[in-house]
Structure 1
Amino acid sequence: MARRDEWLDRFTFGGRLPGTVGVILVATVAASFLAAFTSRHVAPLFELAALRPELVLRGQIWRLVTWPFVEPSPLHLIFECLFLWWFGRDLADEWGSRRFFQVWFGVTLFASVVTSIVALVDPAVRVQSYLGGMGVAEALIVGWGLWFPDRVVRIYFVLPIKGLWLAWLTIAITIVFAVYEGWEFYLPTLAAEGGMLAWLFRRSFVGRWSSFQRQRRANAQQAQARTVAKKRAASAAHLRVIEGGDHDPPALSPELEGKIDALLRGAQKAGPKKE
Structure 2
Amino acid sequence: MKFFNKLERKYGRYAISNLTRYIIICYVIGYLLALAAPWLLTMLTLDPGKILRGQVWRLVTWVLIPPGGLSIFTIIMLFFYYSLGSALEKTWGDFRYNMYILTGLVATVIGSFILFFVSGGSNYSGAFSTYYINLSIFLAFAASYPDMQVLLYFVIPIKIKWMAYLDIAYLAISFYQSGWGGRVAIIASLFNFIVFFFATRDLNRISPKEIHRKQKFAKAVNPTRTGDGVTKHKCAICGRTEKDGANLEFRFCSKCNGNYEYCQDHLFTHEHVK
Query: What does residue 31 of structure 2 align with?
Result: 32
Contact 1:142–1:196 (8 Å) recurs in 2? yes
**CA deviation string 1:4-35 (max 9, x = no partner):** x9xx8xxxxxxxxx632222222321243135
**CA deviation string 1:55-76 (max 9, x = no partner):** 2344534323322322162137
Contact 1:56–1:116 (8 Å) recurs in 2? no
Contact 1:115–1:125 (8 Å) recurs in 2? no
The residue type equivalent to 2:154 in the other structure is F
Query: What does residue 70 of structure 2 align with?
Result: 74
Number of residue pairs aligned between Structure 1 and Structure 2: 187
The residue type equivalent to 1:102 in the other structure is M
Give the deviation of 1:81 after TM superposition.
1.8
The higher relative CO (CA closer than 8 Å, separation ≥ 6) is in 2
Give the deviation of 1:90 after TM superposition.
1.1
Query: What does residue 105 of structure 1 align with?
Result: 102
Matches of 1:132 and 1:89 in 2, distance apart? 21
Gaps of 5+ in 1: 9-17, 206-275
In structure 2, do the counterparts of structure 1 residues 26 and 128 end up closer, same or farther at CA, with 3 Å as the change threshold? closer
2:131 is the counterpart of 1:134: yes
Matches of 1:159 and 1:59 in 2, distance apart? 51
In structure 2, do the counterparts of structure 1 residues 202 and 178 end up closer, same or farther at CA, with 3 Å as the change threshold? closer
Once superposed, what is the RMSD of the aligned Cα atoms? 3.1
Give the deviation of 1:182 after TM superposition.
2.6
Q: Secondary structure at the match of 1:154?
A: strand
2:46 is the counterpart of 1:47: no
Contact 1:52–1:130 (8 Å) recurs in 2? no
Contact 2:46–2:58 (8 Å) recurs in 1? yes
Matches of 2:124 and 2:78 in 1, distance apart? 28
**CA deviation string 1:144-180 (max 9, x = no partner):** 1112122223333344443333334323211202212
Identical counterparts, % of pairs: 24
Matches of 1:200 and 1:115 in 2, distance apart? 23
In structure 2, do the counterparts of structure 1 residues 31 and 182 end up closer, same or farther at CA, with 3 Å as the change threshold? closer
Contact 1:83–1:141 (8 Å) recurs in 2? no
Given the two structures, how large is their TM-score scaled by the length of structure 2? 0.57
Q: Secondary structure at the match of 1:49?
A: coil
Q: Secondary structure at the match of 2:151?
A: strand
Matches of 1:125 and 1:149 in 2, distance apart? 40
In our comparison, the structure showing a higher alpha carbon Rg is 1
In structure 2, do the counterparts of structure 1 residues 68 and 186 end up closer, same or farther at CA, with 3 Å as the change threshold? farther
Matches of 1:161 and 1:123 in 2, distance apart? 46
Matches of 1:20 and 1:195 in 2, distance apart? 16
Alignment of 1:217-236 (within 5 A): none
Contact 1:174–1:186 (8 Å) recurs in 2? no
Matches of 1:128 and 1:60 in 2, distance apart? 13
**CA deviation string 1:208-249 (max 9, x = no partner):** xxxxxxxxxxxxxxxxxxxxxxxxxxxxxxxxxxxxxxxxxx
In structure 2, do the counterparts of structure 1 residues 159 and 121 end up closer, same or farther at CA, with 3 Å as the change threshold? farther
Query: What does residue 58 of structure 2 align with?
Result: 63
In structure 2, do the counterparts of structure 1 residues 96 and 204 end up closer, same or farther at CA, with 3 Å as the change threshold? closer
Q: Secondary structure at the match of 2:154?
A: coil
Q: Pick the aligned partner of 1:84 from 71, 81, 85.
A: 81
Query: What does residue 268 of structure 2 align with?
Result: none
In structure 2, do the counterparts of structure 1 residues 131 and 120 end up closer, same or farther at CA, with 3 Å as the change threshold? closer
Contact 2:63–2:129 (8 Å) recurs in 1? yes
Q: Pick the aligned partner of 2:91 from 63, 71, 94.
A: 94
The residue type equivalent to 2:64 in the other structure is F
Bigger proportion of residues as helix: 1
Matches of 2:105 and 2:197 in 1, distance apart? 15
